[in-house]
Every structure is written in structure tokens, then in C-alpha cells.
A and B are shown apart, each in its own frame.
Chain A
Amino acid sequence: MRYEAPETLEAATALLAAEMGIARVLAGGTDLLVQMKTDMVDPALVVDLKRIGEMRTITKAVDGFHIGAAVSGAELKEQVELKQHWPGLVEAANLIGSTQIQGRATLGGNLCNASPAADSIPALIAANATVSIFGPKGRRQLAVEDVVLAPRKTALDKGEFVVSFHIPLRAKGMGDAYLRFIPRTEMDIAVVGAGIGLKTDPSGVITAARIGLGAVASRPLHVKAAGDALVGSKLDKAAVDKMVDAVRAACKPIDDKRGTIEFRIKVAGVIAARAAAIAYDRART
């Protein structure tokens, strides 16, 4: 195995594109090193992306936040302004693993590990995030919900990697939240996760809503019909019921030791409704 730690995007993509064997990018390594240890993958090349400045910084611009894909969860948590704008996203990222894992794990890794149960993805969908991807043909943008295609499979081509996430600034009347179900209070993988981002007008009527779901299909879902069900309401029961129905209709989960199909579909509706209530409160304060 070769280890390279390039300092530019161009150098990183050149290394990845030229490798004939298995190449892996290394950010926090909390998934990659476990996969190597358990012989799930034996890369010929590991490209450490942490020396590339853009991947390690969070900047606030007029168009929103640009979050480097290799920023750790612990670093995200310390970004007071980001937390004020998108508390649901920061909370979702901080649910991943222990304090030790947070010291290394990154948003880019959580996305590109391509688990249907990744906690940060539904919250990124709710926040309307786009990802900036760099590769042999230069840079391109993709909506976050279009990155994961299936378990362990992403829309990234050979030589490509995620550089950063773009999230709009939170305007007045916007709020977000992420909740997940796990059978205990810490250190587990989501049985179901739901992220909600809402926009309200001054009278409290919802004018836009985005709902992301995790662990209920082969990839994280953006459920447009569920968000649309809330638009025009003040989160009254009829609108929430309609949203819950749309959430449950979108679920195509698996049966496994963490939860049955029936349980996941039921709980997806319950936690989506709870997350919506939190997001609405945040939008109104």
C-alpha cells in the first residue's frame, strides 16, 4: 500500500486517476481503517486529503457556508455560527460515534462511505446542501441527495472526490432538526433517521419544506411529497398527518436485527413529525 498526502486538489485527483489498483481517499479514516482492518478492502493507494486547505476549512460567504469535506465533527461543533444557522445539521453530525470518533470523522466521509443509515445525510438534504466534487475533468456540483446511489456506491467517477459542502445561510423564518431512532441513547447506528428543514412566513405559514430520511431505503431519501404536504400550513395536525403518510409511502426499508420493515415505516413517520415540530419551533424563534 502506498500513502500519499498531496497539498492540492489537482495533485490528489492525478494520483487517484492514475492508480490502476484499488485507490481510497482518507479523511477521518474512521470507516476506511476499519474496512482495512477487517479485510473488506486492501487498497493499493491511500490518498490523505487533509493537507488540502479547502478541505479543512469552514468559510461563511454571502451565498452561505462552505464546509470542507475533511473537517471533523468536533471541529464542526465548535463553529458557533454554523450551529446557530443549522443546529439540526451540527447535531446530526455529532451523533456519529463517540467523542473519539468525532475527533476524526468527517462529513465527506459520512457521505462517501455511502451508508443508507448515515446520520448527517438526511440533515444535509434538509439543509438543501450541494457538494462540490473535484476530478480529472475539473469541478462539478451535485445535490447531496444525488451522491449516494446504493449501499457503498456513490455517483463519483474514478479520480473524483468530494471537496466541500455548500449550505445556504439561514434566513429569518427558517429552522432545521434531525432526529433518529436507536434503541439506546448513544453510540449506535440509526434504525431510522429524519431531517427536516422549514421556511415560514412572518405569520407562521410554512412556505417551503425539505425532508430527508435515513435507514429506510437502499440510500438516503429526499421525500419531496412529504415536504410539500407541509407547505401552506402552520404545522397543524392535518398537514402533519399528510406529511407522515408521504414519509411512510416513501420508505422501502430492509428487515434486520436493528428493526423490522413494519417498525421502520411506522417509526419514520413518528420521528419525522417530531423533527418537524422542533424545526418549526426553531423557525419561529
Chain B
Amino acid sequence: MAKHHVSFTINGDPTEILCETHATLLDVLRDELELTGTKEGCSTGDCGACSVTVDGRLVCSCLMLGVEANGKAIGTVEGLAKGDKLHVLQEKFLEHHALQCGICTPGFLVASKALLEKNPDPTETEVRYWLAGNLCRCTGYDKIVRAVMDAATVMRGA
């Protein structure tokens, strides 16, 4: 099987790997780089558990080949906290009990961060539409939306 030399940055760190043609970016993150924060849910772009950013753009890492990452800047959930210091979104998810089983949480965090970078003061409707591609079967979404709205308020004040 042919392997491709692929270089990109992950959360700012330059990274080089040998990537099989078939491997998705999700496979590369989890299996090659052991960055298992990004979760595999449906593998068909429906659930958003594998959400990452590519050059700042929110995408499903299951719907992108690893070789396509060449030269790109990838952002994953591992890039949110700075050492032991959680990101505001992570703190607010804890505070509002915005998770139960947690498998959707990395995707929600990455998607919410991408939203707030683009739109620091979203309405509840905007939050709900932006996050429509992230599925959660535990919380009923309400606590997630509240956590994101609260985080937005804090981040605007900071």
C-alpha cells in the first residue's frame, strides 16, 4: 500500500507522518498521532463527534483524507486547554452539566469554539443552527446551548 508523506500543524505544532491513501484525517489523528480526543461516531459526516478545524474551518475529520491535510493547520480538542488551565468552554460545559457520556463533547467543544471565533455574540438560535451537525443523545442539547451562551458572555468580557 502506497504511503504519502504528509506534513501539517496540529494545534500549532509542526507534524510529519506517513499516511496511507485510504486513511481519513480521523484515522490519522487517532491511530497515527494517538490524539484520541477526537471521537469516531458515525464515520459518515452525520454526527459531528469527529469535528476538527482545518485552516480555521470546521469540518468532519471522517470526511477528509489524511493526505488532504498536507500543508494545513489542524485544530483538535487537545488544543483547547493550556496545560492544566481549561478553556472557558470546557469550564462552562462542566458548570452547566452539558455532558453525560461525553463522546460527543470534543466535537461540541471544537464546533462551539469555531462559532465563537467567528461570532462572539451569537443568539440562541444561531448557536442551535451552528451546532445542528453535532448530535448528543444524552443531554437534550439545552444544557449545551446554555454552556455555549454563558461561555460567549465570559469570553466577550475577557
Q: Which of A's residues lie within 8 Å of B, judged by CB?
A: 1-3, 5, 26, 28-30, 33-34, 36-38, 46, 48, 50, 72, 74, 97-101, 103-104, 186-187
Contacts and interface: CB of A to CB of B under 8 A. Distances in A.
Contacts of B2: 2
A29 B63 contact: yes
Interface string B36-74: 000000011100100100100111101111011000000
B65 A3 contact: yes
Contacts of B44: 34, 37-38
Q: Which of B4, B21, B64 has the most CB of A within 10 A?
A: B64
A100 B45 contact: yes
A98 B133 contact: yes
In the A-B complex, list the 9 residue pairs whose CB atoms are closest, starting with the nearest.
A98-B133, A103-B59, A186-B132, A103-B57, A100-B60, A100-B133, A33-B63, A34-B44, A3-B21
B45 A103 contact: no
Nearest to B59: A103
A98 B132 contact: yes
Given A99-B111, A100-B111, A103-B58, A33 B133 contact: no
Contacts of B57: 72, 74, 103-104
B59 A100 contact: yes
Contacts of B24: 33
B97 interface: no
Interface in B114-155: 114-115, 129-134
21 contacts: A3-B65, A26-B68, A29-B63, A30-B45, A33-B24, A33-B65, A34-B44, A37-B43, A48-B65, A48-B68, A98-B45, A98-B134, A99-B115, A99-B131, A99-B133, A100-B58, A100-B133, A101-B133, A103-B54, A103-B59, A104-B59
A26 B63 CA distance: 11
B67 A187 contact: no
Interface of B: 2, 4, 21-22, 24, 43-45, 48, 51, 54, 57-60, 62-65, 67-68, 111, 114-115, 129-134
Nearest to A50: B68
B65 A100 contact: no
Contacts of A48: 65, 67-68
A101 B45 contact: yes
A114 B54 CA distance: 27
Nearest to A75: B57
Nearest to B128: A186
Contact of A104 (B63, B132, B134): B63
A104 B69 CA distance: 13
A104 to B, nearest CB: 5
Contacts of A103: 54, 57-59
A79 B24 CA distance: 29
Contacts of B58: 99-100, 103
A29 B67 CA distance: 13
A97 B60 CA distance: 11
A205 B67 CA distance: 54
A97 B114 CA distance: 17
B146 to A, nearest CB: 19
B70 to A, nearest CB: 8
B63 A186 contact: no
Contacts of B68: 5, 26, 29, 48, 50
A186 B114 CA distance: 19
Nearest to B111: A99
A187 B133 contact: yes
Contacts of B64: 29, 33, 104
A187 B132 contact: yes
B43 A100 contact: no
B63 A30 contact: yes
A86 to B, nearest CB: 21
A1 B63 CA distance: 16
Given A33-B64, A100-B51, A2 B21 contact: yes
A54 to B, nearest CB: 19
Contacts of A2: 2, 21
A29 B111 contact: no
